Amino acid sequence: MKYGYARVSSQDQNLARQLQRLKEVGMDRIYEEKISGAINERPELMKVLKRLKPGDELYVIEMERLGRNNEYLTHIFMEVYLKGAKLVILDLPTFDDIDDANMRNFLRNIFIETKKFQAESERKRIRIRQRQGIELAKKRGGL
């Protein structure tokens, strides 16, 4: 089975871009969620992870759709791997053209670890910007 997972952070955001991309690559089922990636217990993500069986594939358009916490992302990767399924992140290179499996896995792992670091760093930057905005609003009497 090919499962897709689409997530945005808030109710007023739109899933259309993600859903279109997932449909283009032919999902059997797509799980959708409107919940912050900072929250690890996401019901739809939990459903699809529980459903995975050996040989299944879980697709997301970008790693940040799974979350922005390095440790939690590692947990998701391991859960998919231990179930014998495959995680496909559409905005990452596959390195499939590299014949040497060890080299292919090495490059994939380096790239994934770098993206996990970037995802968590971006979340930290978002929180800093939010705090700064709140402080400025308080100074102006807006809060």
Report the candidate in 25, 6, 9 with the shortest Cα–Cα distance to residue 17: 6
Catalytic residues: 9
Strand order in the sheet with 57-60: 29-34, 2-8, 57-60, 86-89
Q: For the chain, how big is the Rg over CA atoms in Å?
A: 17
How would you class 98 by CB atoms within 10 Å of its CB: exposed for 0-12, middle for 13-18, buried for 19 or more?
A: middle
HSE (CB half, 13 Å, CA atoms) of 89? Answer: 20
